[in-house]
């Protein structure tokens, strides 16, 4: 059950209809109906001027029929850029063709908008990873439209699995079949299968170790009309996804076979969810015999899944929370799709995680395609790495960590989990940037320098709830073998000498040395030690000038020295 939506919707409505919609086609019209019905839609965009004209006419006619004299409340435009320029639009819903998702989401995030994008997130895992990284660095909500996760019957199905009522999942299969609607810009795998792959990954709680798929392209060469995908998981469990738009009738079924019972989600039926408490008995301990039991209809909440999905997005915008189907979830589905496509193109050969596309390990994490990752490095799922960065030998980036652009991560470095490293940082060998440590842009960490996140650690006492945050501000340098005790802030362009132990906050531009660390001078932005003459100082290397204030702060008098 989604909670808190009424308050969230009220807040956003008071913000003068702050949502924009891109795409008014086959699925976009349903989103338009829901958002306009909620009173949350400010502007709708479509690239086809005829579609825009038709919507304008329909909206004007509806107002006239109701006796309204005010202007049409929802604006219509054929320009996505015009929609993004509107400062009153806080979030954008994208329901355009899949091939446009990457560029539109990227533009929306760059414009400071939260984004809901219909599946798939992008057409490659590398593009999807870049979008997730951009959203995290920009602190934007990014949600992917995997609508089945908001279906009341699927939500109840999830409860059944998590409660243990059906036992351990042994295998799952789904059929998503129909006649038409045929696509020419994307095949059936990318059009139909994301729904069921999303649900299977959600129920299993992990990604498959191998993916194999086969398909048939009967109407258009290289555009598959039917595909069968097999997902193989670590414990031997398998999932099968059969999709086709060349089928004589509509069928949308998901079947889960557990060790205690079997459950069927049939979206075409009125009841939707059925439990079969069949069991297997062993005759003489050797022969398995099916012990059939009566089917039970499982009651569940009702409501339109799309409306629930959009309500969830609104709530996440309002509360600044992570959506159930966030960018990471969309990326997991995207990786499976890409591996299935690779398997089809290779004649059905299984594609393991190591073969998840041409970019290898970079597509198993949120790494931009323009990233160098050494083959010995280990990158967890959910990591975002910006363009131009390099991760060298034997380093490990833990889940949820975000690394900016043009960073250098040396050998045997550990970052995370959930640490933040800004742009152009250099982290030398044998450094651990633990959870709670944030490095702003242009920070230098010398070899074997040490960060902590617990003030008084004991091996036999768990103190993860006592982590203290450490902030290293822009341009600071930490020398080799220095120790930064948790809970401190190191100011901009500060310089920590080799071997120093820092136990308290460090002022901007301060030079600190010794054990415990004490300020011994001031440093220019370029790293040169300054010689103060009264309250003024000038850098002999770059010419920058500074003034020391009464509050013991060093302020630059003129522009950047580098």
Determine the topology of domain 5-118 in CATH.
Rossmann fold (3.40.50)
Residue among 516, 467, 524, 460 nearest 493 (CA)? 524
pLDDT value at position 64? 63
pLDDT value at position 17? 54
Q: Give me the phi and psi of 84, to 5 degrees please.
A: -70, -30
pLDDT value at position 236? 84
Determine the Cα–Cα distance for residues 417 and 433; give it in Å rounded to an integer. Answer: 9
Residue among 404, 401, 405, 429 nearest 415 (CA)? 401
Q: What is the distance, to the nearest Å, from the Cα of residue 312 to the centroid of all Cα atoms in its chain?
A: 16
The answer to whether the beta carbons of residues 525 and 511 sit under 8 Å apart is no
**What is the full per-residue pLDDT of the chain (562 aa) written as tens digits?**
233 333 334 444 444 458 999 999 989 999 999 998 898 999 999 999 889 999 888 877 776 665 554 444 789 999 999 999 999 999 999 999 999 999 999 999 999 999 999 999 998 888 888 899 899 889 999 999 999 999 999 999 999 999 999 999 999 999 999 997 777 767 899 999 999 999 999 999 888 888 999 999 998 888 899 999 999 988 889 999 999 999 999 999 999 999 899 999 999 999 999 999 887 777 777 788 777 888 999 999 999 999 999 999 999 999 999 999 999 999 999 989 999 998 998 888 776 654 443 344 454 455 556 788 887 888 887 788 888 899 999 899 988 888 998 999 999 999 988 899 999 999 999 999 998 899 999 999 999 999 998 888 888 887 877 888 999 999 999 999 999 999 999 999 999 999 999 999 999 999 999 999 999 999 999 989 887 766 778 888 888 888 888 777 888 765 444 4
pLDDT value at position 354? 46
Give bridge partners of residue 297 from the DSSP assignment.
274
Determine the Cα–Cα distance for residues 512 and 105; give it in Å rounded to an integer. Answer: 44
Using CA of residue 388, residue 389, residue 391, residue 392, what is the dihedral sign? positive
Determine the Cα–Cα distance for residues 451 and 437; give it in Å rounded to an integer. Answer: 8
The answer to whether the beta carbons of residues 275 and 295 sit under 8 Å apart is yes
Structure tokens belonging to residue 226: 């039917």
Quickly count: other Cβ atoms within 10 Å of residue 556's Cβ.
18
Asked if the bond preceding 366 is cis, omega within 30° of 0, the reply is: no
pLDDT value at position 350? 77
Quick one: which H or E segment has residue 64?
helix 49-65
Structure tokens belonging to residue 516: 């415990």
Rounded to the nearest 10°, the torsion over CA 165, 166, 167, 168 is -140
Q: Give me the phi and psi of 357, to 5 degrees please.
A: 100, 170
Whether 5-118 shares its CATH topology with 363-556 is answered no
DSSP label at 353? Answer: G
In the CATH scheme, what is the code of domain 363-556?
2.160.10.10
Q: Which CATH class is domain 149-302?
A: alpha beta
Quickly count: other Cβ atoms within 10 Å of residue 339's Cβ.
27
Domain boundaries, the chain: 5-118, 149-302, 363-556
238-244 and 372-373: which strand pairing? unpaired
Determine the Cα–Cα distance for residues 188 and 179; give it in Å rounded to an integer. Answer: 12
Residue among 475, 474, 483 nearest 514 (CA)? 483
Q: Token match 């020391």: residue?
A: 548
User: CA angle, 524 as apex, 522 and 526 as ends, to 5°?
Assistant: 140
Determine the Cα–Cα distance for residues 399 and 401; give it in Å rounded to an integer. Answer: 6
pLDDT value at position 2? 32
> CB within 8 A of 467, min separation 6: which ones?
435, 436, 453, 454, 486
The answer to whether the beta carbons of residues 543 and 530 sit under 8 Å apart is no
Quick one: which H or E segment has residue 6?
helix 5-14
User: CA angle, 439 as apex, 437 and 441 as ends, to 5°?
Assistant: 170
SS3 of residue 380 by DSSP: coil
Determine the Cα–Cα distance for residues 493 and 543; give it in Å rounded to an integer. Answer: 16
């Amino acid at each position: 059950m989604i909670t808190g939506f009424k308050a969230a919707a009220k807040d956003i409505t008071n913000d003068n209809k702050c949502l924009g919609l891109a795409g008014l086609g086959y699925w976009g019209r349903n989103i338009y109906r829901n958002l306009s019905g909620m009173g949350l839609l400010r502007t709708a965009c479509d690239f086809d001027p005829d579609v825009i004209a038709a919507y304008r006419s329909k909206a004007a006619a509806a107002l006239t029929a109701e006796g309204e004299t005010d202007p049409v409340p929802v604006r219509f435009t054929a320009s996505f850029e015009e929609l993004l320029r509107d400062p009153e639009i806080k979030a954008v819903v994208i329901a355009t063709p899949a091939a446009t998702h990457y560029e539109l989401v990227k533009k929306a995030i760059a414009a400071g908008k939260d984004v809901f994008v219909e599946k798939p997130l992008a057409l490659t895992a590398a593009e999807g990873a870049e979008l997730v990284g951009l959203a995290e660095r920009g602190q934007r909500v990014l949600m992917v439209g995997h609508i089945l996760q908001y279906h009341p019957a699927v939500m109840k199905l999830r409860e059944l699995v998590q409660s243990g009522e059906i036992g351990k999942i042994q295998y799952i299969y789904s059929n998503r079949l129909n006649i038409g609607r045929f696509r020419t810009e994307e095949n059936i795998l990318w059009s139909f299968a994301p729904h069921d792959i999303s649900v299977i990954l959600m129920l299993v709680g992990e990604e498959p170790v191998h993916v194999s798929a086969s398909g048939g392209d009967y109407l258009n060469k290289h555009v598959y009309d039917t595909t069968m995908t097999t997902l193989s998981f670590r414990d031997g469990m398998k999932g099968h996804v059969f999709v086709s738009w060349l089928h004589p009738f509509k069928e949308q079924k998901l079947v889960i076979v557990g060790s205690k019972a079997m459950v069927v989600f049939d979206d075409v039926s009125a009841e939707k969810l059925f439990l079969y408490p069949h069991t297997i008995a062993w005759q003489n301990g050797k022969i398995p015999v099916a012990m059939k039991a009566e089917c039970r209809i499982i009651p569940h909440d009702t409501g339109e899944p799309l409306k629930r999905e959009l309500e969830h997005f609104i709530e996440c915008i309002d509360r600044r929370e992570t959506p159930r189907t966030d960018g990471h979830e969309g990326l997991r589905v995207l990786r499976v799709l890409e591996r299935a496509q690779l398997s089809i193109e290779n004649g059905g050969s299984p594609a393991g995680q190591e073969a998840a596309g041409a970019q290898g390990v970079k597509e198993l994490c949120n790494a931009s395609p323009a990233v160098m990752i050494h083959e010995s490095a280990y990158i967890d799922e959910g990591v975002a790495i910006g363009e131009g960065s390099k991760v060298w030998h034997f380093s490990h980036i833990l889940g949820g960590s975000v690394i900016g652009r043009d960073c250098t991560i040396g050998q045997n470095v550990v970052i995370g989990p959930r640490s933040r490293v800004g742009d152009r940082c250099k982290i030398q060998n044998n450094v651990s940037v633990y959870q709670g440590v944030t490095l702003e842009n242009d920070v230098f960490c010398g070899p074997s320098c040490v960060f902590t996140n617990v003030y008084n650690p004991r091996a036999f006492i768990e103190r993860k709830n006592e982590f203290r945050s450490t902030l290293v501000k822009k341009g600071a340098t930490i020398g080799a073998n220095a120790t930064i005790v948790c809970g401190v802030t190191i100011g901009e362009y500060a310089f920590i000498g080799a071997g120093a132990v820092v136990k308290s906050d460090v002022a901007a531009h301060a030079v600190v040395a010794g054990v415990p660390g004490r300020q011994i001078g001031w440093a220019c932005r370029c790293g040169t030690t300054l010689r103060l003459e009264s309250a003024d100082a000038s850098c002999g290397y770059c010419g920058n000038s500074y003034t020391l204030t009464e509050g013991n702060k060093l302020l630059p008098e003129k522009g950047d020295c580098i």
